[in-house]
Chains A and B, each alone.
Chain A
Amino acid sequence: MIIEIGHFSVIVALVLSVFGMASAALALKTRNPDWARSGRMAVTLIFVLLGVGMLSLVYAFIIRDFSVLYVANNSNSKLPFFYTVAAVWGGHEGSLLLWVFILSVFSTLAVWLHWRTQPAIMPYLIGVESAIIFGFLCLIVFLSSPFERLLPVPLDGKDLNPLLQDPAMVMHPPMLYLGYVGFSIPFSFAMAALFSGRLGEEWIKVTQRWSMFAWMCLTTGILLGGYWAYYELGWGGYWGWDPVENASFMPWLVGTAYLHSVLVQEKRKMFKVWNLFLIIVTFSLSLIGTFLVRSGVLTSVHSFATDPERGLYILIFVGTVIGIAFGALILRSNKLKSQVEMDSLVSRESIFLFNNLFFLVAAATVFLGTLYPLILETLQNAKVTVGPPYYNAVFMPIALGLLFLMGVGPYIPWRKASVASLKKSFSTPLLAGAVIVVLLFVTGIHNLYALAGGYVVTFAGMAIVLDFGKISQLYAQRNGSNIFQGSLAAFTANQRRYASMLTHIGVLVLVVGIIASTVYQTEKVVSMRVGDEFAIGDYRMKLTKIHEVAGGNWNAQEGVFQVFKGEDLVTELRPQKRIYSATQTPTTESAIYATNMGHVFLTMPEVSEDGVAVARGVLNPLVLWVWGGGVIMGLGVILNILRPRKKEE
């Protein structure tokens, strides 16, 4: 019964989304604010109704109501409670419902938060958000309903995909969706600007925090996905350039470009068309990402059901949204001449321009690599896979270029930089980079990527430190305080700038982690019996026992490995080869020993009948920096979002 209430709520929400669009149109036509108010009520009610829909599904999972097809397909009586709740978004239908639910949360928040300050924009916002909600709700109600009943009722469910039974995986999809959907708010404001012809800087200022929030969630989602892949898939890597990973990375790249490029419009009133273009592309890529993941057009480890009918629907919907958005941009573009021309190629705005070009080229690279198999199949009926070698070769130089720009951009003046000021700002960082390269080389690091990475990271890091040091000193002198109080004062007075710098520091830490763990990863695969040992790096692993262990819904063979460094026993690692009872799916559970910000990573992918185990050891130096960097980046963005509002904001 409860599930029918949920189903009914979602259908009513669908009807209300039509009402939302209609009231937005009437509000614009009649200029009667009552229509806008009705629209606001519709958006709010949609949020409430979709909340009821979500809760009813959660309830069906908790009481293990296997008469609901979606519950029967994605859970099982032995599934632990925590994963039972997360199983709500473990499949196609439920994750779509989560997508649109988050969208309704954001729409409602945006409508209520900006109601007083942006009355003219509201009808557009209500209209655009209702339209997107309408598109997704049609898909849910007519083609992908999670509320369908199953007769006869099975005794037990098929279980949640064991690979998804993992804490990181529980949070990964919601975070990604918060990111994807979060960009719908700046997108809606951009659409409002285009439709209404209010093409000033207003929409950018209003949506800045929304964009940052969306970006932070997307970053977190991607990093969580990487973390999950790292220890759950058991191959010891966190990024495989899988099409579905790329689908989330592309909006991130363009979204990052957008976050930077809006600063130029804000300060210099330039890049107007460009910013609209970027936010449309960002949100379009979020939608295309959803299409790629949900339609099964590409081969991926994320094997979702291939269903041309649903795929076609999503394609038509996504195509309509993107078509209208770009159509509006093209029609309006003649009104969008920048009032200002660029003064010099050596200026902050030009660095931002290069930053944008690099990000777009990076996104295009990923886009091409992701779609290349599809293109080739369509044109020549040939099958290919584009793997990491392509991405590493093409993407790495672009990423290094971006890091270099990151060291330049924030410290070069707007309009035009003089040679003297360039010398003053950058001679020390350039020199520091060179020193580090020599040091790295002398200590035996000869890999080109490691050296180039070391150079740009030092350069960019040094530029941040010098700038902050200088300003802190100024504040300390002015207030007659010590340097720590000075730096605190400098930070609070320029919170926006230094919160961004903190995010940049996070990026640098992340890059060091990526380079170290990619270039200096050591791997060893051996067959061994109990009593055997193998060496990897400074460590020795001795297999002391293989035994059976059981969890709530799985059984496993567990290898007990003693890990020695020299003659000292440092830890015991217990990798498992699990078989989940309901689906009989095997998974490889890794065991990790963290040391010096790096990992000793061990899996046991095979155990044969006669007791021969295949063990795979991986040393990942500095791999924790990848996620540590992510945390710092997130902290920077949070400080940026929470900074006190200035009057004009």
Chain B
Amino acid sequence: MSKGWQITLILSLLGLFALFYQGLWGDPRHIPTVLIETEAPNFEGPDVETGQTISLEQFKGKVVLLNFWASWCYECKVEHESILQLHQLFKDNPDFVMLGVNYQDELPDAQKYLQEYGSTFSHVRDLKGQLAIDYGVYGVPETFVIDQQGKIRHKWVGPITGEVYTNITQKVIAPLLNAQPTTTTTS
């Protein structure tokens, strides 16, 4: 083996392991959406509990948090308490609206779920799964934050708990409500 080969070999190995090391600290499951910074698709659908029609348009000018969930989804139960807590935190702010989107679910199951686990905000039914397709939802739970101009500013795949909760409340929603421009978060 010539000197050149030896050095190449050593350098490639070092590079490879540096790359792996760097990779350890990222989370490959944070998938950004092409929808970030684009207009949130409008939707219309019946309320899970009351049956009244809810549309996104009626909340224009407010910060909207959309949380996709389903009664069969285990991780949704995991995040449910923090979701309620999040609503508690911002519900008195007139510029904030929180909407659940019930995804691929049976109506009685969804209603039973809300009765059992509690609900303090409205949930719209995604009847044909079209809403999930429009928002590019990979699976539930998945959460979107839409700003006053109707643009999607943040997306999170997975439960809103722990650090994720702190991040979304302090670094995403609060600045938007204080009308400070946030940096785009692509988590």
Q: Given A308-B24, A322-B13, A584-B74, check contact A374 B19 (CB 8 Å).
A: yes
Q: Which B residues lie within 8 Å of A300 (CB)?
A: 28
- Given contact pairs A297-B23, A330-B1, A584-B74, A315 touches B17 in the complex (Cβ within 8 A): yes
Q: Which chain B residue lies CB-closest to A584?
A: B72
A297 nearest CB across to chain B (Å): 4
Q: Please give the distance in Å from B1's CB to the nearest CB on chain A.
A: 4
B20 at interface, CB cutoff 8 A:
yes
Report B-chain residues with C-beta under 8 Å of the C-beta of A263.
Answer: none
A586's partner among B24, B25, B28, B72 (CB-CB below 8 A) is B72
> Number of A-B pairs whose CB atoms are under 8 Å?
71
8 Å CB contact of B28 from A323, A373, A579: A373
B133 at interface, CB cutoff 8 A: no
A92 to chain B minimum Cβ distance, whole angstroms, is 16
Q: Does A299 contact B (CB under 8 A)?
A: yes
Q: Is the CB of A383 within 8 A of B31?
A: yes
Q: Is there an interface contact between B1 and A315, defined as CB atoms closer than 8 Å? A: no
| Minimum Cβ distance to chain B for residue A208 (Å) | 24
Chain A, 245-297, CB within 8 A of any chain B CB: 273, 291, 295-297
Please tell me if B117 contacts chain A, counting CB pairs below 8 Å.
no
Residue of A315, A323, A329 touching B20 (CB-CB under 8 A): A315
Q: Which listed residue (A334, A371, A383) contacts B32, Cβ 8 A?
A: A383
Give the size of the chain B interface in residues (CB under 8 angstroms).
26
CB-CB under 8 A from B72, the residues of chain A are 579, 584, 586
Known contacts A315-B20, A584-B73; A306/B27 CB under 8 A: yes
Q: How far is the CB of B130 from chain A (nearest CB, A)?
A: 12
- Counting from the closest, the 4 A-B pairs by CB-CB distance are A333-B1, A299-B28, A297-B23, A584-B72
Contact (A297, B24) CB under 8 Å given A319-B17, A322-B13, A584-B74: yes
* In the bound complex, CA of A333 to CA of B9 (Å): 13
In the assembled complex, B6 has its CB within 8 A of some CB on chain A: yes
Interface residues on A, range: 35 or more
Tell me, rounded to whole Å, the shortest Cβ–Cβ distance linking A271 to chain B. Answer: 13
* A9 smallest CB distance to B (angstroms): 31
Chain A residues with CB under 8 Å of chain B are 273, 291, 295-300, 303, 306, 308, 311-312, 315, 319, 322-323, 326, 329-330, 333-334, 336, 371, 373-375, 377-378, 383, 579, 583-586, 609
| Extra inter-chain contacts (14) besides given A295-B24, A299-B29, CB under 8 Å | A291-B20, A296-B27, A297-B20, A299-B28, A299-B31, A306-B27, A308-B24, A330-B6, A330-B9, A330-B10, A334-B1, A374-B20, A378-B23, A609-B107
Which residues of A lie under 8 Å from residue B186 when comparing CB positions?
383
Inter-chain contact A312/B24, CB cutoff 8 Å: yes
Query: Nearest chain-B residue to A298 (Cβ)?
Result: B28
Given A291-B20, A333-B1, A296 and B9 contact (CB-CB distance below 8 Å): no
- Residue of chain A at shortest CB distance from B22: A378
* CA–CA, A357 and B127, complex, Å: 55
Residues of A close to B73: CB separation below 8 A: 584
Write out the residue numbers on chain B whose beta carbons fall within 8 Å of the beta carbon of A296: 27-28
Residues in A with CB closer than 8 Å to B31 are 299, 383
Which B residues touch A609, using CB under 8 A?
106-107
Q: B181 near A: Cβ within 8 Å? A: no
- Contact between B19 and A371, CB atoms less than 8 A apart: yes
Please report the C-alpha to C-alpha distance between residue A330 and residue B1 in the assembled complex, in whole angstroms.
7
Say yes or no: is B26 at the interface (Cβ < 8 Å to chain A): yes
Quick check: A303 and B20 within 8 Å, CB to CB?
A: no
